[in-house]
Amino acid sequence: MWILIQIKAIVVAVGVLIFILLPPCILAIPFPLNLRLKIVSGAWAFGSKLMLRFGCQSFVDVQQDHRSTNFKGTPPYGLYVANHQSFIDIPLITTMFQAPPIMKKEILHIPIFGWLGWISGAMPVSRSKVHSRKKVFEQAKNRIINQRIGIQVYPEGTRSRVGHPKPYDQIKRTLLVFAFNEKIPVIPTSLYGTRGVLDSKGFIRPGRHLGVIVHKELLPEDFKNSDEFCRAIWGKVIEGYEELMTQLGPLNEN
């Protein structure tokens, strides 16, 4: 049974990549990013739902979206800030909105997936190289301010090893401070359950219950300084995570 679950996950993943994501991504190649996202966003949302349900055999039980209407466009606007638990975070968050992520350069080297991610606007960064971090920061600045294309970022950097979001003093706040200084709205996003989908060796653990809360946007002008703004953002992420843990934690205890 265990081996069948792993084989099914591989078959579903390959099927989603080749038959659902690849065609619209190829179609979108000639167009600017804004239009590319309009073309591929539906495929990413649908493919992510299939992958979570039939590949990972997980249940997305909670999906809350508290954003104002003008933040729900395609592509969405603003800086989306989420906690980081697993490689499954991006499929889960993609079921709610399609904002290109900042991700480790190595992930974009994965065959087919990396290419599709690049077409869909993912921004690779080599965290060990200062010039790479500076480059992606400038890209993010241009995307949000000039192109008005939202991006998603995980301030914890590496995945939390204990599941619970890292405390405020351990997160990277550069982009959050930038958002405050440039008057860019930030949308805190809380993810729960993805850490349990894969075991320590990367194999599927079926039957996990997942949840995502997209909080109402926070506006820099409503805060006195950048520290107060950053703390409010991360506080919302943690608040949502704990709410989801209370609801779904008992279902994941087995």
The pLDDT tens digits of the residues spanning 18-73 come to 999 999 999 999 999 999 999 999 999 999 999 999 999 999 999 999 999 999 99
pLDDT band at 160 (very low <50, low <70, confident <90, very high): low
Q: Over range 201-208, report the average pLDDT.
A: 94
Query: CA distances (Å), 194 to each of 9, 90, 127, 187, in order?
Result: 15, 10, 23, 20
If one compares 87 and 214, the residue with the highest pLDDT of the two is: 214
Tally of CA atoms within 13 A in the half-sphere of 158 that contains its CB: 5
Task: Please give the pLDDT value at position 31.
Answer: 97
Mapped to the 3 state alphabet, what secondary structure does 149-160 carry? Answer: CCEEECCCCCCC
CA atoms of 127 and 25, how far apart (whole Å): 27
Q: What is the pTM of this model?
A: 0.94
CA angle 197, 169, 95 (to 5 degrees): 35
- For residue 159, is pLDDT > 70? no
Please say whether the dihedral angle defined by the alpha carbons of residues 220, 155, 104 and 73, taken in this order, is positive or negative: negative
Q: What average pLDDT is seen over the chain?
A: 93
- Find, among 97, 45, 37, the residue nearest to 71 by Cα: 97
Residue 74 gets the label, from left (phi > 0), alpha (psi -120 to 50) or beta, of: beta
- For residue 203, is pLDDT > 90? yes
| Domain locations along the chain | 59-252
Task: Please give the pLDDT value at position 134.
Answer: 84
CA atoms of 90 and 101, how far apart (whole Å): 8
Query: CA distances (Å), 246 to each of 8, 62, 144, 186, 221, in order?
Result: 31, 12, 34, 25, 32
Task: Please give the pLDDT value at position 254.
Answer: 67
- For residue 169, is pLDDT > 90? yes
Task: Please give the pLDDT value at position 39.
Answer: 97
Mapped to the 3 state alphabet, what secondary structure does 177-213 carry? Answer: HHHHHCCCCEEEEEEECHHHCECCCCCECCCCEEEEE
pLDDT digits (tens, 9 = 90+) for 216-250: 999 999 999 999 999 999 999 999 999 999 999 99
pLDDT digits (tens, 9 = 90+) for 104-157: 888 878 888 889 999 999 998 887 777 878 888 889 889 999 999 999 999 998
Element (H, E) at 113: helix 113-119
Query: CA distances (Å), 23 to each of 99, 122, 138, 223, 236, in order?
Result: 20, 18, 30, 44, 37
- Find, among 166, 188, 165, the residue nearest to 176 by Cα: 188
Element (H, E) at 231: helix 226-248
How do strand 59-65 and strand 209-214 relate by DSSP bridges?
A: parallel
Task: Please give the pLDDT value at position 1.
Answer: 82
Answer for the pair 120, 36: CB distance below 8 angstroms, yes or no.
yes
Task: Please give the pLDDT value at position 129.
Answer: 76
Task: Please give the pLDDT value at position 253.
Answer: 82
Task: Please give the pLDDT value at position 184.
Answer: 94
- The fold for domain 59-252 equals Glycerol-3-phosphate (1)-acyltransferase (3.40.1130)
